Amino acid sequence: IVLQEEQRGTGHAVAQALPALDGFDGRVIVLYGDTPFIRPETLERLAASDAAVTVLGFEAADPGRYGRLVAQGDTLDRIVEFKDATDEERGITLCNSGVIACDAVLLTELVAGLSNENASGEYYLTDIVEAARKKGLTAQVVTCDEAETLGINTRAELARAEALFQERMRAEAMENGVTMVEPTSVWFALDTYISRDVVLGPNVVFGPDVTIESGAVIEAFCHLEGCHISRGATIGPFARLRPGAELAEDVHIGNFVEVKNAILAEGVKVGHLTYLGDADIGEHTNIGAGTVTCNYDGVMKHRTTIGANAFIGS
């Protein structure tokens, strides 16, 4: 992490970070922390470009105040910031995402030559394209879908980005064979992994680190985080699985049951109103309603072990 004490433009920001790359001989990609949707495939295309400088661009439905890419085909001549653009240049719809790939040694040289003689009085990283072209070097545009370059500057934009992310995750899940009763009510985390032929009821929420194997059913209004659910298990409705919940095949978790840091072996049934924390439950054991594994003494948590084929009354 490098701190940019004074905010004097994107070129200035990169200049602050370049000392961290001393001795590095390779291609550098400059990314932005508020653009989370750029795909790995897009970055691979940037890295594979043999141009001296490569810029990620997109065709904008509404170019607005984006910088414009002045290009001939894939060959990029220069980037013009909106404030400095002529009316003709503002008519260009090929826009600058801000993402740039460049050889580390050349990047250091080009950034050192930047000037702040522009409408904002800032050092624009984008000016390295024109500087490279003046040196007789090649500059190229790699394009991506506009949605990949979506930036987040406000809480409202964060909410729109979240909605876009959820829409993509739902579509991908259904494409991979997951059934969702009401897709728009299911909320995924970035790393949610669900196998084929899983059924998700409405209003299911996934926190980080959840894996569900084939044939499992997650009923309505369940909240899952940090858990692993094996084949044929049924969860819910109104169940909560917390980090460390490990459910073997054909486990049944019923309504208003919470499981935390517990291992439930094959065929365990936990039907109603129960809390299982820090516990090991043997196969085919039946846990009655209202059961609590209460194993915290105020300082330490002690593990509860219940064997196979046991019956715990209500």
> What b/e string do you get for 203-229 counting C-beta neighbours within 10 Å, with b at 16 or more?
bbbbbebbebbebbbbbbbbbbbbbbb
Give the list of residues 6+ apart from residue 72 with CB closer than 8 angstroms, or none. Answer: none
* Strand, coil or helix: 277: strand
- Please tell me what DSSP assigns to residue 48: H
> Cβ-count burial of 287 within 10 angstroms (0-12 exposed, 13-18 middle, 19+ buried)?
buried
Task: Tell me if residue 223 is catalytic.
Answer: no
Distance CA 312, CA 224 (A): 25
CB atoms within 10 A of CB 54: 26
Q: H/E element holding 254? A: strand 252-260
Catalytic position from the list 12, 223, 252, 272: 272
Tokens representing 181?
A: 């009763």
Q: Among residues 21, 10, 132, which one has the least CA distance to residue 76? A: 132
Active site residues: 272
